[in-house]
Chains A and B, each alone.
Chain A
Amino acid sequence: MKFAIQVNEGPYQHQASDSAYHFTKAALEKGHECFRVFFYHDGVLNSTRLTTPPQDDRNVVNNWMELAEKYDLDLVVCVAAAQRRGIVDEGEAQRNGKDATNLAPRFRISGLGQLVEAAIQCDKLVVFGD
């Protein structure tokens, strides 16, 4: 089956991102396809490379990066939600006059059309959040 995943909550505060990660990982290991993971609302906060959890805790951002590396996952962060919450890549920094970037490798910032397209292309959209 071809899944699209939507993550609506930030890391650590909420289990949504962990659950989405475990679901996506299990689905891929079973041979299913993941068309895209789309991060929306506070879910965009899963994409900052500046995340530094205690050493004995899981690293939610790295988990996604490693999964993306292994399976060539498309991790997309909503641009409007990202702008509101201070998630910045090179292009956004230039456009909005910011002096730093924090988007983690393997993530990319794009528009809501990517979510709608994923919903059209997938067999099943699975939403993680409250």
Chain B
Amino acid sequence: MSDKKQFMFLNRRAPYGTIYAWESLEVVLIAAAFEQAVSLAFVDDGVYQLVTGQDTSGIGMKNFSPTYKTLGDYEVRHIYVDKDSLESRGLTQDDLQVVPWEDWETEETVDNIVEVVDSAKLAELLEASDVVFSF
């Protein structure tokens, strides 16, 4: 296999209403097996994917939101959230899930890999990525 690539999963849509968010997550989980450098970014309505306390019992859909907090176990090292998208929806980082991360070899730990960044920073991160999966 070739050298590690910078993978960026760009999540732009609300968790329910369409299947994009759920099927994006499925790709992220599979990508873990390929040992790439995986980051996720949440923009626009995509920020709702990370909101805590989701309850889907009224719509007959599976609540897949608990999966996000396990992403640290799936080789995901960075999760970025667009500040403008968050603020324009009346949300703050306190409304979002906490995703811990641990390097099993070095035992380095990060309490929460979810990071709120501004659009300029996000643009830089996208530019620096080798592959952008857009969902």
Binding site for B on A (CB under 8 A): 6, 8, 40-41, 80-81, 111-113, 115-117, 119-121, 125, 127, 129
C-alpha spacing A115/B23, complex, angstroms = 13
B96 an interface residue at 8 Å Cβ cutoff?
no
A80 lies within 8 A of B36 (CB): no
Binding site for A on B (CB under 8 A): 1-2, 5, 7, 19-20, 23, 26-27, 30-31, 33-34, 36, 131-135
Q: Which residues of B contact A112 (CB under 8 A)?
A: 26-27, 30
**Cross-chain contact of A113 among B5, B19, B34 (Cβ < 8 A):** B34
A127 lies within 8 A of B134 (CB): yes
B27 lies within 8 A of A115 (CB): yes
Q: Which residues of A contact B20 (CB under 8 A)?
A: 8, 41
C-alpha spacing A6/B20, complex, angstroms = 13
A120 lies within 8 A of B23 (CB): no
Q: A40-B23, A80-B26 are in contact. Are A113 and B33 (CB under 8 A)?
A: yes
Nearest chain B CB to A84 CB, angstrom units: 8
**Cross-chain contact of B131 among A81, A111, A125, A129 (Cβ < 8 A):** A125
C-alpha spacing A8/B36, complex, angstroms = 23
> For chain A, what secondary structure do more than half of its interface residues adopt (helix, strand, loop), or is it mixed?
helix
**Cross-chain contact of A120 among B1, B27, B134 (Cβ < 8 A):** B1
A119 lies within 8 A of B26 (CB): no
C-alpha spacing A34/B5, complex, angstroms = 19
C-alpha spacing A84/B131, complex, angstroms = 27
C-alpha spacing A67/B92, complex, angstroms = 48
Closest to A129 in B: B134
**Cross-chain contact of B30 among A6, A111, A120 (Cβ < 8 A):** A111
Closest to B23 in A: A41
A119 lies within 8 A of B30 (CB): no
A117 lies within 8 A of B34 (CB): yes
C-alpha spacing A125/B132, complex, angstroms = 8
C-alpha spacing A121/B19, complex, angstroms = 27
Q: Which residues of A contact B132 (CB under 8 A)?
A: 125, 127
